[in-house]
Amino acid sequence: MQNIKQYIADNKQRFLDELFELLKFPSVSADPKYKADVLSTAAYVAAKLTEAGAEHVEVCATAGYPIVFGEKIIDPALPTVLVYGHYDVQPPDPLELWETPPFEPVIRDGKIFARGACDDKGQFYMHVKAFELMIETGTLPCNIKFMIEGEEEVGSNNLGIFVGAEKERLKADVVLISDTAMISLEHPSLETGLRGLTYLEVEVTGPDRDLHSGVYGGAVANPATILAKMIASLHDDQNRITIPGFYDDVDDLSAAERDALNQAPYDEDAYKADLGVNALWGEEGYTTIERTGTRPTLEVNGIWSGYIGEGAKTVLPSKANAKISMRLVPHQQSGKIFELFKTHFEKIAPPYVKVKITPHHGGEPVVTPTDSIAFRAAEKAVEEAFGKKPIPTRGGGSIPIVSLFEQELGIKTVLMGFGLDSDNLHSPNEKFDVANFYKGIETIPLFHKYYAALMKAN
Amino acid sequence: MQNIKQYIADNKQRFLDELFELLKFPSVSADPKYKADVLSTAAYVAAKLTEAGAEHVEVCATAGYPIVFGEKIIDPALPTVLVYGHYDVQPPDPLELWETPPFEPVIRDGKIFARGACDDKGQFYMHVKAFELMIETGTLPCNIKFMIEGEEEVGSNNLGIFVGAEKERLKADVVLISDTAMISLEHPSLETGLRGLTYLEVEVTGPDRDLHSGVYGGAVANPATILAKMIASLHDDQNRITIPGFYDDVDDLSAAERDALNQAPYDEDAYKADLGVNALWGEEGYTTIERTGTRPTLEVNGIWSGYIGEGAKTVLPSKANAKISMRLVPHQQSGKIFELFKTHFEKIAPPYVKVKITPHHGGEPVVTPTDSIAFRAAEKAVEEAFGKKPIPTRGGGSIPIVSLFEQELGIKTVLMGFGLDSDNLHSPNEKFDVANFYKGIETIPLFHKYYAALMKAN
């Protein structure tokens, strides 16, 4: 532990400088205009892995953005940890709400502000630096493989293909991911589940062109109004989702499981104050912790129709569109939920409009085991670094690839995240505490140490 | 009549060339980026009025865009016609749906395609050319004043001030406006009423920043969903507007009046086919003609929230916005309707969101008299030019200033429009039939002739 702290202290500024370089790349995978930047990011990650001591580093081409692979095999007889992360980021919109530009990282109040600071550049880069530390201090206790992708924010479709095709190269005993949150530095926690995702887009068409709202208003269905009515009908009075069959496969938690989850520290007033809302909203009969961690949801991620510029335009629009996503819990299936949504949405469309539903991407929900050697190693590492036993929590976000690792590689995942829920992931002013960044670099070598030791003892 | 036809035949191409010049100015009043173009348009209109023979031509400054004034007083003892029109146009968005660029006029299939072709450049310019014709052929039978404004599409607020301040200069016996539609060249018609307008914008705020829809989804109200629910609730199952008091002042038509209106030719199958819809929508218990002409309506003119770019972003938005307008009928009042909407919308807002309602502009509904000398003159002019008596109709659109002319100047208006409902006003590919343009120039001198004669005989 002492040599870990010393190495971090000796390289503090350089670690941060390198992360800042990484954060300056606008690696937005969703928007084709950033293509060259996303590719440059992959090259930067590969270079840094090599510098840190990884071998066989390769920027592996895919049908989309490349996957950066690297490894250090010190002894084939020792266990192997596969570290997964992603170098792509969410779009920075709405730009005008950023206090400082999203791709010009700065530190304010001990926090790094930049798109990707927490999700996931700041977090996967802790692994690169922890790896360097173990190499430089001669303390790497097991084999390690890195797989850092560039399409996590758009559904990881090509990673799925890559994993299926590269089973030998990716062979490992456990997957280790830092792309989730902990409660706080005072309340360290480990996520033991992730929600799945079905993301789609709907288009409602009324008249075949935009119309004058005076000449035609009142006689022709307005697709914006109809889409509003259709969206409004997707939740009932208890804020439950009305799509027939939607809850059929939902794994209801036992009373004991619910009790355990609700032991996590949660202050409703602080939660509301942080978000600037007077009241919370959610499915009746569940707590906030349950709603975000164990219940499926349906959200409008975007909606647009008609004239949205300055001033006024008296138009009756031809089309109305929405991006809608559903978070899924075990044992819902992304593809099945898409079909249920599509069938329902087409059914509720009134005769005066046409609807088109297009899938974007999806991912399956996962629950990670809490009785595995890897999870125990993570618990011990966090406890030693933070001085407190971590609380198990359920994460509301999705990392679509986790369930695929299990299916394709037959291995489980440990989610050892160091972000905070309040880090503005996917929002303006995304941030990551500098303290959490260093604490992560400190915890990761301990994970490897305990994992190797427990595997040996097993 | 023969000299009218001859003069038009002799100047056919020049009339069209001048209109094309006028249509090339992108005089979009709603969007500040077109400011210089709107001002240039005013200067062009003033120059053309002068060339046609108007005197005291002035580009009158206002707090917004200027009003172009010009006149020809041949004898103070004769009646005076005040011609009103507007040189500003609607925004051309969505640009990608135009077959040819909105400000590069072209003729296809006998129709002029350009933003403003019908609304209102093509129509007010008929008056400028009819005036030139009467001057050149020595047939102007009465005094004429022109008032062509540049803010009709954004509510005419500064015209209201101008009219109030310039009563002497604007003194006239009747207002003549061509900014409405007729049924067709085969079924000439005259509008005898216009709907009023209340245009506003709503903003619904949930959390104080965009959130990650996985981390917070299910626990915090999504303003896009809430706005959808609020908009959905504004119409009931009979498609009636649910705002308390909304219909209180509506002037219900008698059975005889309704019968008369429904005599106008209307082919529902053709109407649906033209719009590409399988079914119509509207307030139960009324025909399409009644719905668009005599009943108030509420339309979403624009809605936006969250991520609306390429690809997917799993965001739970902070804000959702909509532009909403209501068309009003006698004796609804624009200001009162705004207050009713605001009170209702604030009342239905659930505790987990904040709402802000901002007025854009408004206008009062009008009914023009059908027993006046001016209306009889218009009927006779149309009958002579088209060979058929015009059908009285009620227009669904709004020209907010008409009721103000009545209040401030104490004079009535005649709506002698030559557009068609299908001219794509406010839509991509706005058009105006070349034949209607020339027919208008032919009809207008006849109006002046009959108006002067009937006034003299009176």
| Within a domain: A288 | no
Rounded CA-CA distance A355/A153 in Å is 26
Asked whether the CA dihedral A391, A395, A399, A401 is positive or negative, the reply is positive
Q: Is B152 a catalytic residue?
A: yes
Q: Is residue A363 predicted with pLDDT exceeding 90?
A: no
My answer on whether A320 and A357 are in the same domain is: yes
Identify the closest residue of chain B to A425 by CA–CA distance.
Answer: B212
* Tokens at A420, concatenated: 């905070």
Active site (annotated) includes residue A152:
yes
Note the pLDDT tens digit of each residue in A146-163. Answer: 999 999 988 888 999 999
Question: Tokens 């173990």 identify what position?
Answer: A134
Token pair 């996962």 is at which residue?
A366
Q: Kindly give the pairing relationship between strand A431-433 and strand B80-86.
A: unpaired
Asked if the C-beta of A395 comes within 8 angstroms of chain B's C-beta atoms, the answer is yes
Q: Are A52 and A118 in contact (CB under 8 A)?
A: no
Tell whether A277 is covered by a domain: no
Assess B250–A contact: CB distance below 8 Å, yes or no: no
Q: Is B56 left (phi over 0), alpha (psi -120 to 50) or beta?
A: left
Asked whether residue A346 is assigned to any structural domain, the reply reads: yes
pLDDT of residue B34: 97
Per-residue pLDDT of chain B (458 residues; tens, 9 = 90+): 788 999 999 999 999 999 999 999 999 999 999 999 999 999 999 999 999 999 999 999 999 999 999 999 999 999 999 999 999 999 998 899 999 999 999 999 999 999 999 999 999 999 999 999 999 999 999 999 999 999 998 888 899 999 999 999 999 999 999 999 999 999 999 999 889 999 999 999 999 999 999 889 999 999 999 999 999 999 999 999 999 999 999 988 899 989 988 988 899 999 999 999 999 999 999 999 999 989 999 999 999 999 998 888 889 999 999 999 999 998 999 999 999 999 999 999 999 999 999 999 888 998 888 899 999 999 999 999 999 999 988 888 878 788 889 999 999 999 999 999 889 888 899 999 999 999 999 999 999 999 999 999 98
Same domain, A67 and A187: yes
Percent of chain A topping pLDDT 70? 100
Three-state SS string over chain B comes to CHHHHHHHHHHHHHHHHHHHHHHCCCCECCCHHHHHHHHHHHHHHHHHHHHHCCEEEEEECCCCCCEEEEEECCCCCCCEEEEEEECCECCCCCHHHCCCCCCCCEEECCEEECCCCCCCHHHHHHHHHHHHHHHHCCCCCCEEEEEEECCHHHCCHHHHHHHHHCCCCCCCCEEEECCCEECCCCCCEEECEECEEEEEEEEEECCCCCEECCCCCCCCCCHHHHHHHHHHCCECCCCCECCCCCCCCCCCCCHHHHHHHCCCCCCHHHHHHHHCCCCCCCCCCCCHHHHHHCCCEEEEEEEEEECCCCCCCCEECCEEEEEEEEEECCCCCHHHHHHHHHHHHHHHCCCCCEEEEEEEEEECCEECCCCCHHHHHHHHHHHHHHCCCCEEECCCCCCCHHHHHHHHHCCCEEECCCEECCCCCCCCCCEEEHHHHHHHHHHHHHHHHHHHHHHHHC
Clarify whether residues A92 and A232 are in a common domain: no
Query: Could you give the CA distance from residue A411 to residue A423 in angstroms, rounded to a whole number?
Result: 30
Using the 3D structure, point to which of B363, B388, B403 is the last residue of a domain: B363
CB contacts of B221 in chain A (<8 Å) are: 277, 279-281
Q: Are residues B204 and B68 in the same domain?
A: no
B110 at the A interface (CB within 8 A)?
no
d(CA B365, CA B355): 28
Question: Side chain identity at B141, as an amino acid letter?
Answer: P
Q: Do A337 and A433 lie in a common domain?
A: no
- Domain of residue B314, CATH code: 3.30.70.360
Alpha-carbon span B447 to B372, nearest angstrom:
13
Q: Which of B311, B388, B320 is nearest to B354 (CA)?
A: B320
Residues B48 and B116 occupy one common structural domain: yes
**Residue at B411 is within a domain:** yes
Cα distance between residue A115 and residue A124, in whole Å: 14
Q: What is the pLDDT of residue B400?
A: 74
Contact A187, A281 (CB under 8 A): no
- For residue A134, the number of C-alpha atoms closer than 13 Å in the C-beta half-sphere is 23
Structural domain contains residue B182 = yes
Inter-residue contact B380 to B446 (CB < 8 Å): yes
**pLDDT, mean of residues A129-144:** 98
Residue A220 at interface with chain B, using a CB cutoff of 8 Å: yes
CA B279 vs CA B241, B270, B299, B323: distances in Å: 20, 12, 18, 25
Strands (E), A206-258: 211-212
CATH number at residue B176: 3.40.630.10
Range of the domain at A79: 2-194+365-457
In a domain, B148, yes or no: yes
What would the two tokens of residue A369 be? 């085991």
The count of C-alpha atoms lying within 13 angstroms of the C-alpha of A160, restricted to the half-sphere facing its C-beta, is 16
- Report helix, strand or coil for A429: coil
E-assigned strand segments in A39-180? 55-60, 67-72, 80-86, 106-108, 111-113, 143-149, 174-177
Q: Which structure tokens are listed for A125? A: 């880069």
Q: Determine the 3-state secondary structure of A139 from DSSP.
A: coil
Average pLDDT, chain A: 95
Number of domains observed in the structure of chain A: 2
pLDDT category of residue A313 using cuts at 50, 70 and 90: confident
Classify residue B241 by its DSSP letter: B
How many residues appear in chain A? 458
Q: What is the pLDDT of residues A162-171, one digit of tens each?
A: 999 999 999 9
**Residues on chain A touching B91 (C-beta within 8 angstroms):** 307, 309, 311, 313
Based on the fold, state whether residues B448 and B324 are members of the same structural domain.
no
**A351 pLDDT above the threshold of 80:** yes
Helix B35-52 and helix B121-136: axis angle, to 10°? 20
User: Strands A413-415 and A174-177, how do they pair?
Assistant: parallel
ipTM of the complex: 0.85
The verdict on B188 and B205 lying in the same domain is no
Residue B291 falls within a domain, yes or no? no
Question: Is residue B381 assigned to a domain?
Answer: yes
Residue-wise pLDDT tens digits, A9-49: 999 999 999 999 999 999 999 999 999 999 999 999 999 99
CA distance A384 to A387: 5
Residues of A in contact with B323 (CB under 8 A): 306-308, 312-313
Query: Strand, coil or helix: what is A83?
Result: strand
Out of A220, A303, A426, name the one closest to residue B313 (CB).
Answer: A426
Which one of A182, A220, A250, A289 would you mutate to disrupt binding with B, by most B Cβ within 10 Å of its Cβ? A220
CB A199 within 8 A of CB B312: yes
Structure tokens that stand for B207 in this block? 């959390």
pLDDT digits (tens, 9 = 90+) for A258-306: 998 898 889 999 999 999 999 999 999 999 999 998 999 999 999 999 9
From A363, A380, A405, the end of a domain falls on A363
Angle at the Cα of A435 from the Cα atoms of A433 and A438, rounded to 5 degrees: 115
> What's the DSSP call for residue A9?
H
Paired tokens of B185? 């060249």
Q: Count of H helices and E strands in chain A? A: 12, 21
| Shared-domain flag, residues B179 and B319 | no
**pLDDT tens digit string along A90-105?**
999 889 999 999 999 9
Is the dihedral angle over the CA atoms A347, A353, A358, A363 positive or is it negative?
Answer: negative
Nearest chain A residue (CA) to B316: A301
Give the residue from A348, A363, A378 where a domain finishes. A363
B157 contact A CB<8A: no
pLDDT at residue B257, as a whole number: 86
Q: B195 to chain A, minimum CA–CA distance in Å? A: 8
Same domain for A387 and A447: yes
Q: Is residue B214 domain-shared with residue B337, that is, in the same domain? A: yes
**What is the per-residue pLDDT across A402-419, written as a single tens digit (0 to 9) for each?**
888 999 999 999 999 999
Residues A209 and A353 both lie in one domain: yes
- The reported pLDDT for the residue numbered B54 is 98
Q: How far is B2 from chain A (nearest CA, A)?
A: 35
> What letter represents residue A83's amino acid?
V
